[in-house]
Structure 1
Amino acid sequence: MNCNEEFIIKAIGKLTIEFNFDWEQQRKVRDCLNYSMYNYEVHTLEKSLIKGDMHEKIFLYIKVKKLAGYSDSTLNHYNYTLGKLATFLNKPVSTVTTNDLRMFLILNSEGKKPSTINSIIFYIKAFFAWLESEDLIPRNPARKLEVNKVPKRLRKALTVEELEKLRIACKDNRERALVEFLFATGCRVSEVVDCNIEDLNLNDNSLRVIGKGDKERVVCFGDKTKVYLNKYLEERNKDNDPALFVSQKFPYNRLSRRGIELIIHKIAERAGFNKSVYPHLLRHTMATLGLQNGANLVTIQHLLGHTDPATTQIYAENSLENIKHEYKQHMNC
């Protein structure tokens, strides 16, 4: 991007903030600026003497949150987003303004979903709130940032028939054990990645899981899952890896998040699904089918590892089959 283009983008961003331009108005302003600047060349002022301290503050923030038990995945998201912000601003954190942050969001929001933009805003707000609480800045410029309204969507769980199709499409015991394990335990894919064989208690069909925030909980699985886990583990004679699920090729390393996602995707393709099927969908399915079959909401909350009951309540509110069942039972007069 040359200086002319950078100037036009920043000018449009500033005008959009001041006058609330829509996309068509932004396009007209862009055309006018391009025409007016023909045969002119913009040059930036020398800023080599300006020293920003955001990168070192971000480094400290990440270390503090790591000590607080944040997962590596969460910390990576923080580091990536805040790193882009630091590079964009290149100024001391104490001088950052609300408009600086809005400009960054405008230039980094094009083509992104509202939920993705909200995540970026969340990371920025959390970082500057921490800076303020630590007395590292005089005021919090992110306080006025507003998140986008995201329309609520039903969590689309698999039906019993679809779940059975997925099971039938498994080509070996490893795949079947993985599908059964994801559904039966309702574990997050990151929790399955970290799971070791020694975490299993095959005597009472339970599993010790370390979830978000380094919190430990116990989840359960049925005899069907136990059968396929045993079959899979009996075939594991080529490795000594402690991981519960490993790759099929040498050096038989622990399956990664992406590896598990690819396996589920391939099984779904074989099963003939015309919609996206992913590991977290099996977690949704466990919760939804459990509630439909009469499981207690508090029990589902514990099994899923939700700290806030409101998160689990979404499954009860959005289960269409549950609504239909309750209506037939109590309101169909």
Structure 2
Amino acid sequence: MTESKGDDWQQGINEFLHYLEVARQLSPHTLSNYRRDLEKFSAYCQHNTIADPALVHSADVRQWVAQLHRGGLAGPSLQRALSALRSFYKYRARNGEKNNPALGIQAPKSAKKLPKALDADNMQQLLAIDGDDWLSLRDRAILELFYSSGLRLSELVNLNQQDIDLSKALVTVTGKGNKMRALPIGSFAIKALRDWFSVRADAKPVDNAVFLSKQGRRLGQRSIQQRLKKHSVQQGVNQSVHPHMLRHSFASHILESSSDLRAVQELLGHANISTTQVYTHLDFQHLAKVYDKAHPRANRKTSKVDN
């Protein structure tokens, strides 16, 4: 019986996946991803009459990646497919095959999505929560502290009472990599926190968390997300607001006023300033809008050139 031209590919893929399952003990989910990516490449090669994995060249891999990219596959998915292909050929090298056509080939980078931020008016609208009941005081303190100090959701949830010094207007947070940083607290947030601390004990706290549920336990991330969503609807903010949006708003508003990227990096607790630089794009968007409104020759609809 004549072997089909896909037998070399299928046998090679099956042997490789068996090795990953037995020797590397990878999860079924990871194995499934490897199989899908490798079978896609196998189909591409067979369509182009490359029946043997040993005959693949780097140009073939580049063309495959370009085809997937044109088809809308994002950068991370392309990078994962290339990683699977490199691992496949690395495994084959154990049996003496020297060819690894995926080496040195990088996936096209996806366009980086800009973080969404509320403008100053929408932020003021969101923070204007009415009411002096227990929940309103707690939620107002949460929102004010988020926006005042640019905290991550996890940082806010993990705050304990000793982490806040209202007399010095400072909050100490433990960020990624267990790195601690001290951040200033604005006057509105200080007032909101004082109001909250005046009623916090009503929940009969069972731990030292700053923000509590009605049962006196540390308030969880999901609860804060739900409360923020509820308030954004009640306050008439016409977009879906999540905790990280308050952090983005904090960063972009500080940058708009100061243009001090290094200071924003320190306040946000970014290890690398390249992470912070995304906010320069937000700042440019703001400046572009100001330019369009203010410059006499920026508005094409109203600016006319005499003949």
Q: TM-score, normalised by structure 2?
A: 0.63
Letter in 2 for 1:234: S
Look up the match of 1:168: 128
Corresponding position: 1:53 with 2:23: yes
Q: What displacement does 1:291 show?
A: 1.2
Q: What displacement does 1:193 show?
A: 1.5
Match of 1:157, SS? coil
Corresponding position: 1:212 with 2:179: no
* Contact 2:270/2:276 (<8 A) preserved: yes
What is the rounded CA distance, in whole Å, between the counterparts of 1:194 and 1:141 in structure 2?
A: 48
Letter in 2 for 1:321: H
Deviation digits for residues 40-91 of structure 1, max 9, x if unmatched? xxxx9xx999961334xx7xxxxxxxxxxxxxxxxxxxxxxx66214766xx
Which of 111, 118, 131 matches 2:76?
118
Match of 1:274, SS? coil
Q: What displacement does 1:150 show?
A: 2.4
Match of 1:284, SS? helix
Corresponding position: 1:99 with 2:38: yes
Which of 20, 25, 30 matches 1:85?
30
What is the rounded CA distance, in whole Å, between the counterparts of 1:50 and 1:146 in structure 2?
A: 23
* Contact 1:287/1:300 (<8 A) preserved: yes
* Contact 1:101/1:142 (<8 A) preserved: no
Gaps of 5+ in 1: 1-10, 16-43, 59-81, 90-95, 104-108, 133-137
User: What root-mean-square deviation, in Å, do the aligned CA atoms of Structure 1 and Structure 2 show?
Assistant: 4.4
What is the rounded CA distance, in whole Å, between the counterparts of 1:124 and 1:253 in structure 2?
A: 46
Corresponding position: 1:296 with 2:246: no
Look up the match of 2:230: 266
Deviation digits for residues 234-284 of structure 1, max 9, x if unmatched? 211121321111212x2x321222111111101001112332110000001
Letter in 2 for 1:85: T
Q: What displacement does 1:203 show?
A: 1.8
Q: What displacement does 1:199 show?
A: 1.0
Deviation digits for residues 200-240 of structure 1, max 9, x if unmatched? 12121111111112222121111110111111122111213
* Contact 1:291/1:322 (<8 A) preserved: no
Match of 2:198, SS? helix
Q: What displacement does 1:186 show?
A: 0.6
Letter in 1 for 2:24: M
When Rg is computed on C-alpha atoms for both structures, the one with the higher figure is: 2
Gaps of 5+ in 2: 1-5, 43-67, 91-95, 299-307
Look up the match of 2:244: 280
Q: TM-score, normalised by structure 1?
A: 0.59
Look up the match of 2:218: 254
Corresponding position: 1:223 with 2:190: no
Q: What displacement does 1:191 show?
A: 1.2
What is the rounded CA distance, in whole Å, between the counterparts of 1:142 and 1:206 in structure 2?
A: 51
Look up the match of 2:3: none
Would the alpha carbon gap of residues 267 and 120 (structure 1) be closer, same or farther in structure 2, given more than 3 Å must change?
Answer: farther
Corresponding position: 1:156 with 2:116: yes
Match of 1:293, SS? helix
* Contact 1:209/1:216 (<8 A) preserved: yes
Would the alpha carbon gap of residues 235 and 120 (structure 1) be closer, same or farther in structure 2, given more than 3 Å must change?
Answer: farther
Aligned residues: 243
Q: What displacement does 1:285 show?
A: 0.4
What is the rounded CA distance, in whole Å, between the counterparts of 1:143 and 1:294 in structure 2?
A: 44
* Contact 1:261/1:279 (<8 A) preserved: yes
Would the alpha carbon gap of residues 183 and 296 (structure 1) be closer, same or farther in structure 2, given more than 3 Å must change?
Answer: same
What is the rounded CA distance, in whole Å, between the counterparts of 1:122 and 1:219 in structure 2?
A: 38
